[in-house]
Structure 1
C-alpha cells in the first residue's frame, strides 16, 4: 500500500502534464493515454480511481503558457519536418530561382550592353570626324578644314565674293591655302573688303611701295595684277550687269559635277578653264592663267571637285539645286501675277463695253 500512493501521485503528476485543457474555470476532464491507463490498472488492481476529478483545476494564468508550449512543440516538429521536406523539394527550386536570377542578370546585362553599344554607335557616328576629301587630314590646319567644309565648292554668285576668290586663287602661285587663310583678314583689310570699284582706284605705287601692308602679302607683280583686274571687272559689270552673270555663262549657269573618286584624278586645268582664261586675258585681266582659273572655278563652286566619298560632295549639289529652284519659283510667281493683272484688265474692259452697249 505504501508504493501505491507513490505510483498514484506520479501518475497524477504525469497526467497533469499530459492533459488537454478546456477553457479556464470549466470542469477539468482528464483523458489519459493508453500507456497511462495501463499503468493505473496495473498499480491499483485494475480499478479506475478517477484521479483527475479530484485534482484542483489549473489556474487561468497557466493556460497560455501550456498552450504556447504545446503549440510551439507542434510547430517546431512540423517545421522541422516541413523544413526537411522543403529542402528536399525546394533544393531544385532554389537552384532554379538562382539560375533564373542569373539568367535575368545575364539578360539585363546583355540588354544594357546592347543599349550601351547602340548608344555608343550613335554617339560614335556623331562624334567621328566626317569623311572629307583626301587632302584634308586630321593633321590639317583647323582653318583649312573649316574652309573645306563651309566654302570650298559652294556656288558663289556675289561679285565681291567672286573677286575675293579670284584674288586668293591667284595668290596660290606664291602661297598655299592654309597660309592664305591665315592672312585672309589682312587681305580683306588691304583690299577694302574686295570691293572692286574701290580697289580699281588704288594708287599702285603706294600699294607696292616698300613698307606697305600689301607688300608683306604678295609680290609686286601680283599686287599690280589685282588692281588691274579690279578695273577690268568694273568693265565686265557694265557690259553684263554683274561679274556673276559673265563667269557663270561659261557653264550655262550650272556647276560642273566631276564625280572624282581619287585625288589623282583631279586635273590642274581643264579645257573649260582654258577658254575662260583666254577670254579674261582678252579683256585685259592679268595673272589669270588656266591653272589659276581652274582653282578659282573649284573654290567658287563653278565646278564641284569634292571627291564622291566626301560628305560635302552631295551637300554642294543640293545647294546648287536649291539656287536653281529659287529663281524659277520667282519667275512663276511673276507670271501668275501678270496673268492675274491681265485678266482683271480684260474683265474691266468687257464690263465697260457691256455698259456702253
Structure 2
C-alpha cells in the first residue's frame, strides 16, 4: 500500500511569549533563544529629562533607575521616596500650591480660610453636627460676655436646655428673640399673663408655662441687680474675681454638670427671687457666657478663648471692693431673714 509522506516545513516554529509575574508587575518576556543577541545586550533606555521637567539633573542616578523594569522592588521603593522628595522641593520652587490633605478621624476640615487645615474641636462636635451648632461652638461658646442683654439671653437658653437641645435652641434663636422682644429686660418684666400665653410657635408655647414665668420673673430680678451693682455682669463676674476659670479638661467625661461655684451662684440667685436657676442651669450658663472655659485641651478654641481673656475684665479696685461689700451684706441679710 502506498502512504503519502507528510510535508515538513523547513522553518522552525517560533515559541509563543508567556506572561510572568515579576517584582515590577505583569510583563511579557520572550525566550532568550528567540531574542537577538543585540537586543538582549541592549541597556534599558532612561527617560529624557527636559528643562521643564519636575525632576532636575540634581536627582541621583538611583532615582532615574526606578524607571527601569529590571530594578528590584526594594530599590524601586527607595527611589520612589527620593523622587517624591525631589518633586516636593521642585513644586516649592515652582510656586505651585500643594494638594490638600484629607482630615484624620475625629477632625473637621475648615476650608473657609486661605490657609486651610484640619482643626480639632471638642468631641461633642462631629462632622455630622448641624452648622449652627458648630458655628456656636467656634464663635460664641466659652467667649467671655459682659453685656447684660446677652447674659440674660444665655441664661434663658440655659434654662431651656431642660426641654430642648442646643441645636434645637439655636434653630429657634430668631423666634426666641422675636417673641421676647430681643431680650429687653424692661419689656419682658412687664409681660402680662395674656402676653405670656401668647408666646407660641405653630400653636405650641415656646417653652413650658413654668419656664416662661421664670423668664419674666428673672427679668424683674435682674433689673434689681442692675440698680444694686450697676450691672448684672459685674454681679455675676464677681463670683470668679472677674477672671474666667480655665479647667483644661482632656476628655468629655471630665467635664462636670455642676461645680461648687455654680452651687454658690445658684443659691444666691434663688435667694434674690430668681426661678429655675439650679446648679446645672447655672453651670451651663457659665460655660456659654465664658465665665468658665470648658473647651477641651485638644480643641483649637481652648487657646483662642484664653486669648480673649487678655482684655481687661476686672473693674477698678474701688469698684470691686464696693461690689464685694454689697454682695456680702446682701448674703448676710438673706441668711438673717432665713
Aligned to 1:235: 224
Assess if the C-alpha contact under 8 Å between 2:159 and 2:277 holds in 1.
Answer: yes
d(CA) in 2 for partners of 1:265 and 1:147? Answer: 21
Aligned CA distance change for structure 1 residues 109 and 137 (closer, same or farther; 3 Å): closer
Q: Please give the alpha-carbon distance, in whole angstroms, between the structure 1 residues aligned to 2:310 and 2:292.
A: 14
SS in 1 for 2:311: helix
Alignment partner of 1:120 is 2:98: yes
After superposition, the C-alpha distances for 1:48-90 in whole angstroms (9 at most, x for unaligned) are xxxxxxxxxxxxxxxxxxxxxxxxxxxxxxxxxxxxxxxxxxx
> Counterparts in 2 of 1:26-41, with a 5 A limit?
none
Quick one: which of 255, 258, 273 aligns to 2:247? Answer: 258
Of stretches 104-113 and 219-228 in structure 1, the one that deviates more from structure 2 is 104-113
1:195 shift after superposition = 1.1
Separation in structure 2 between the aligned mates of residue 217 and residue 163 of structure 1, nearest angstrom: 17
Q: Distance in 2 between matches of 1:250 and 1:114?
A: 56
Shift in Å, 1:321: 1.1
Contact between 1:190 and 1:213, CA under 8 Å: does it hold in 2? no
> Comparing 259-268 with 115-124, which one deviates more in the overlay?
115-124
Query: Please, which runs of 5 or more residues in structure 2 have no aligned partner?
Result: 1-44, 60-82, 103-108, 110-114, 317-338
SS state of the match for residue 316, structure 1? helix
Measure, in 2, the Cα distance between the counterparts of 1:281 and 1:202: 21
Contact 2:179–2:199, Cα closer than 8 Å, also in 1: no
1:130 CA displacement: 1.5
The reply on whether 1:163 has 2:152 as its aligned counterpart is yes
Structure 1, gaps ≥5 residues long: 1-94, 329-357
1:149 to 138, 144, 148: 138
Secondary structure of 1:135 counterpart: coil
- Cα 1:310–1:239, aligned 2, differ >3 Å: closer, same or farther? same
SS of match in other structure, 2:142: coil
Work out the CA distance in 1 between the residues paired with 2:47 and 2:303. 57
1:248 aligns with 2:246: no
Whether contact under 8 Å (2:247, 2:294) holds in the other structure is yes
Counterpart of 1:323 (choices 312, 331, 334) is 312
Q: CA deviation at 1:217?
A: 1.7
5 Å-filtered alignment, 1:1-357, equals 104=56, 107=59, 111-116=86-91, 119-120=97-98, 126-209=115-198, 215-324=204-313
Q: Is the 8 A contact 1:206 1:212 kept in 2?
A: no
- In structure 2, the CA distance between the partners of 1:99 and 1:122, relative to structure 1 (3 Å rule), is closer
Aligned residues: 234
Q: Between Structure 1 and Structure 2, whose CA radius of gyration is higher?
A: 1
- 1:323: how far off? 3.4
Offset, 1:129: 3.5
Structure number with the higher strand fraction is 2
Task: Tell me, yes or no, if the aligned pair for 1:190 and 1:214 is still in contact at 8 Å.
Answer: no
Contact 1:158 1:244 (8 Å CA) reproduced = yes
| Structure-1 separation of matches of 2:100 and 2:266 | 48
Task: Decide whether the 8 Å contact of 1:214 with 1:223 is kept in 2.
Answer: no
Is the CA contact (8 Å cut-off) linking 1:258 and 1:303 kept in structure 2? yes
Deviation (angstroms), 1:109: 7.9
Distance 1:243 1:272 in 2: 17
Indicate the SS of the match to 2:194: helix
Match of 1:347 in 2: none
Question: How far did 1:198 drift?
Answer: 1.2
Render the CA deviation track for 1:239-292: whole Å, top value 9, x for unaligned.
000000000000000000000000000001000000000000000000000000
